[in-house]
C-alpha cells in the first residue's frame, strides 16, 4: 500500500497543478514498469476517487486543521488518505500507518505527527465532520463554485442531475463492430461467459460491471471498441455511404473515425494536430483492420493539408472544455477556469470557418463537442448560422437532446451535436 499511496499522491498533485490525469498515469506506468496490474488499478482508483470527491475531502480536511497546510505534498497525501478511509475497504490502521511512512519517504519527517493526528481525528469524528461539510455546496456537489453556478444558470431543470452524475463512476460502454458481428450475437456471447450487459441503442452495449480492456471479449480481435453511447451517435448522424469522401478534422483518439469506417467503405482523411495522439488513431484502425489516410495537421490551416478536393461529409469533433465528461475525467472540474470557455470558443469558430469551404454543396458537416456549456455549443452554432446563409441546421434523428445538447445520464456522457447542410 505504501508505494500505491505515494504514487497516487504524486498523480493527484500533478493533476491539481494542471496536468492531464490520464497522461500523468501513463507516465507513471512507464516509469514504474514493475507495477502489477492490481497495483496499477489501485493507484488509478485512489487518483480518480480523490479527485472525484475532492470538494468533500478538502472541506473535511479544513475542519481538521488548526491552520492551512503550506506543503502541498503533505496536503494532497492527507486528501488521498481521507479518500481511502471514507471510500475504500482497506483497514483504517494500515491506511494511517502507511500515510505516516509515506510522508517520511517524501522527505518530510516533521509532518509525521500532523498526518497521524489528522487521520486519527477523522476516524474519531467522522460523522460530525461529514455533516459539517454539507454546509458547503462545493463539498456536497464536488465541483468548484463557479461551475455549480454556471450549471444552475444554464440548466435550471437539470443542474442537480448533472452534478450528481459527474460524481459517479462512468459506465463501460462498448461499440459492436457491425462489419464483424451483430449486437444480439455479441450479447449472447457475453451471456455465455457470465457477463451481464444491455443494449442501449445503435451498436452500444453497456457492461453492468467494468472489465479491464484486455479482458473484454472480442476487443483484441476487433469485434468491439470502448466508446461512450453519446459519442457513438456521430457516425449515424453523418449517414455516410460507400464511396463518399469524408473528413474527420480532429480525429484522435479515433473512436469516431473507426465507427465511420465500420458504417461504410468511405475515402476517409483523418487529421489531428498532435502526432502522438494520431498514433492512437492508427493503433485503433490497425486493431479493427480498417484503413484511412492519416495526417498530422491543424485542420484550420488548409494550405498545410487540403488538396482542393471537396468533401461529402465532415466531422468536426472540436476541442472543448470537456465539461460533459467530468465523471470520466474528474481532474477537469478542478483545473478548468471560466476563461477557458472563451478560448475554446475562439478555436471552435476558427475551425468552423476554415472547414466550411471544403464541403460540397449538398454535403453535411457535423459539429460535436463533449461540453455542456452553451458558449461552446448552441450559442456557437446560432452565431455561425446567422453569418452563413448557405448553412442550414438539420434535425438530429434518433438523438434525445435539448437544442442539440445531450444531458448526462446513467448511460450517456454530456455531448452536443449540430448537423449542418450546405445549400
| Catalytic site positions | 370
User: In the block, which residue shows the cell 498523480?
Assistant: 11
d(CA 184, CA 342): 44
DSSP string over 277-294 = HHHHHHHHHHHHT---EE
Whether a cis peptide bond, with omega within 30° of 0, leads into 253 is: yes
Which one-letter DSSP state was computed for residue 408? P
- CA-CA-CA-CA torsion for 18, 21, 26, 30, nearest 10 degrees? 60
φ, ψ of residue 271 in degrees (nearest 5): -110, 150
Beta bridge partners of 419: 366, 394
Cell of 346: 475562439
Pairing of strands 204-207, 172-176: antiparallel
φ, ψ of residue 417 in degrees (nearest 5): -135, 140
> Which helix (H) or strand (E) segment is 161 a member of?
helix 159-166
> Which helix (H) or strand (E) segment is 198 a member of?
strand 197-199
Amino acid at each position: 500500500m505504501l508505494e500505491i499511496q505515494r504514487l497516487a499522491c504524486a498523480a493527484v498533485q500533478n493533476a491539481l497543478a494542471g496536468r492531464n490525469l490520464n497522461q500523468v498515469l501513463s507516465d507513471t506506468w512507464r516509469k514504474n514498469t514493475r507495477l502489477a496490474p492490481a497495483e496499477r488499478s489501485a493507484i488509478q482508483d485512489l487518483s480518480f476517487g480523490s479527485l472525484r470527491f475532492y470538494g468533500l475531502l478538502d472541506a473535511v480536511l479544513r475542519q481538521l486543521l488548526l491552520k492551512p497546510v503550506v506543503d502541498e505534498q503533505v496536503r494532497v497525501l492527507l486528501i488521498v488518505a481521507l479518500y481511502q478511509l471514507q471510500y475504500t475497504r482497506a483497514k483504517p490502521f494500515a491506511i494511517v500507518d502507511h500515510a505516516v511512512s509515506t510522508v517520511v519517504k517524501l522527505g518530510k519527517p516533521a509532518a509525521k505527527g500532523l498526518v497521524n493526528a489528522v487521520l486519527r481525528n477523522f476516524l474519531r469524528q467522522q460523522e460530525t465532520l461529514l455533516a459539517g461539510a454539507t454546509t458547503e455546496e462545493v463539498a456536497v456537489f464536488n465541483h468548484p463554485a463557479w461551475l455549480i453556478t454556471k450549471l444552475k444558470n444554464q440548466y435550471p431543470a437539470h443542474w442537480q442531475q448533472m452534478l450528481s452524475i459527474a460524481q459517479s463512476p462512468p459506465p463501460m460502454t462498448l461499440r459492436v463492430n457491425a462489419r464483424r458481428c451483430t449486437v444480439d450475437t455479441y450479447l449472447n456471447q457475453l451471456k455465455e461467459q457470465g457477463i451481464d450487459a444491455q443494449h442501449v441503442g445503435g451498436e452500444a452495449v453497456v457492461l453492468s460491471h467494468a472489465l479491464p480492456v484486455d479482458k473484454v471479449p472480442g476487443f483484441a480481435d476487433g469485434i468491439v471498441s470502448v466508446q461512450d453511447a453519446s459519442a457513438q451517435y456521430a457516425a449515424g448522424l453523418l449517414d455516410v455511404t460507400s464511396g463518399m469522401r469524408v473528413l474527420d478534422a480532429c480525429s484522435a483518439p479515433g473512436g469516431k473515425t473507426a465507427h465511420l469506417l465500420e458504417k461504410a467503405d468511405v475515402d476517409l482523411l483523418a487529421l489531428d494536430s498532435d502526432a502522438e495522439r494520431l498514433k492512437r488513431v492508427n493503433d485503433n484502425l490497425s486493431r479493427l483492420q480498417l484503413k484511412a489516410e492519416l495526417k498530422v495537421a491543424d485542420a484550420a490551416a488548409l494550405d498545410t493539408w487540403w488538396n482542393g478536393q471537396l468533401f461529402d461529409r465532415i466531422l468536426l469533433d472540436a476541442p472543448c472544455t470537456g465539461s460533459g465528461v467530468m465523471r470520466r475525467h474528474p481532474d477537469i472540474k478542478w483545473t478548468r477556469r471560466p476563461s477557458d470557455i472563451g478560448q475554446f470558443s475562439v478555436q471552435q469558430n476558427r475551425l468552423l470557418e476554415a472547414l466550411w469551404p471544403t464541403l460540397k454543396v449538398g454535403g453535411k458537416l457535423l459539429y460535436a463537442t463533449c461540453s455542456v456549456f452553451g458558449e461552446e455549443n448552441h450559442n456557437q452554432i446560432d452565431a455561425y448560422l446567422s453569418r452563413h446563409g448557405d448553412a442550414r441546421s438539420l434535425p438530429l434523428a434518433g438523438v434525445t437532446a435539448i437544442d442539440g445538447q445531450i444531458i448526462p445520464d446513467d448511460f450517456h456522457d454530456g455531448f452536443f451535436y449540430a448537423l449542418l447542410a450546405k445549400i
